Amino acid sequence: MVYVDDMIITGDDDIEKQTLRERLAAQFEMKDLGKLKYFLRIEVAYSRQGFFISQKKCIIDLLKETGKLGCKTTKVSIDQNHRIGNDEENPKVEKTQYQRLVGKIIYLSQTRPNIPYAVSVVSQFMHDPRERHLQAVNRIIQYLKALSIKIYTDVEYARSIVDRKSTTGYCMFLGGNLVTWRSKKQNVVARSSVEAELRVMAEGFCKLLLMKIILDDLKIKYETLMGLTCYNKYVINIAHNLVQHDRTKHVEID
């Protein structure tokens, strides 16, 4: 793999790789930097299980450059129903600065699959950037700073024809990456779908708190809210209405 004057040589044959290096060195002036550590703003770390790629340094450098190291974070990289167009009535911004920022964010799309759409929107206005477009770029940068923890819960109510127990399921995303998931039968038979949903949500909250403890042990600062999503409107109503709590004594612990 070659990018301008940088090259990565990879493969499963060490002798063949060494032969290739020697032949290239005989034709070109080259310097062997050893194991891959940093390439195209991607950091590479090795372990016995394999290797890990990250662009944390690139994000931190971008935050420093734009003066947003201490900025507030945002939950989404771009508004869902945005109407970002040419906006010729908005004041112009410095084109070179805008292009440089968008270019750096494009690099980050290599390891952040949750931003390519937002990046594709702001990159359409490289030729004539306006204040509205720069605001959208800054929002992406604020989104990159956020370390989000989200968990999605669901339940299949009393679908087992053997014992009528409900099956719960959840999946947790850390920074947009799936890190843990589970599907398991509940221990008891639920008398309603609400009861089953409350149980899986309670388990989901336990997993969120566990992840918070793990991040604290790793000295990773996490200040934003953790999100839990379910689709049962009755459970949501119970959570917001204290009067309803008196009618759910059988699942009071959950």
Quote the percentage of the chain above a pLDDT of 90: 38
Q: What is the pLDDT of residue 145?
A: 85
- Contact status, residue 33 vs residue 41, Cβ threshold 8 Å: no
Q: The whole model's pTM is what? A: 0.62
Query: Percent of the chain scored above 70 by pLDDT?
Result: 98
Please give the average per-residue pLDDT across 53-75, as a whole number.
87
Q: What is the mean pLDDT of residues 2-29?
A: 91
pLDDT in tens, 102-114: 999 998 888 888 8
Whole-number mean pLDDT of the chain?
88
- Angle, alpha carbons 114-118-122 (nearest 5°): 150
Higher pLDDT among residues 204 and 231, named by residue: 204
Report pLDDT digits (tens) over 78-105: 988 898 988 888 899 999 999 999 999 9
Q: Which residue ranges make up each domain of the chain?
A: 2-54, 59-145, 149-251
Cα–Cα distance between 121 and 88 in angstroms, integer? Answer: 16
Class of domain 149-251: alpha beta
**What would the two tokens of residue 175 be?**
């920074």
Burial class (CB in 10 A: 0-12, 13-18, 19+), 224: middle
How far lies 216's CA from each of 78, 206, 213, in Å? 29, 15, 5
For residues 109 and 35, is the Cβ–Cβ distance under 8 A? no
Tokens of 132: 């509205």
- CB count, 10 Å around CB of 232? 19
The pLDDT of residue 186 is above 90: no
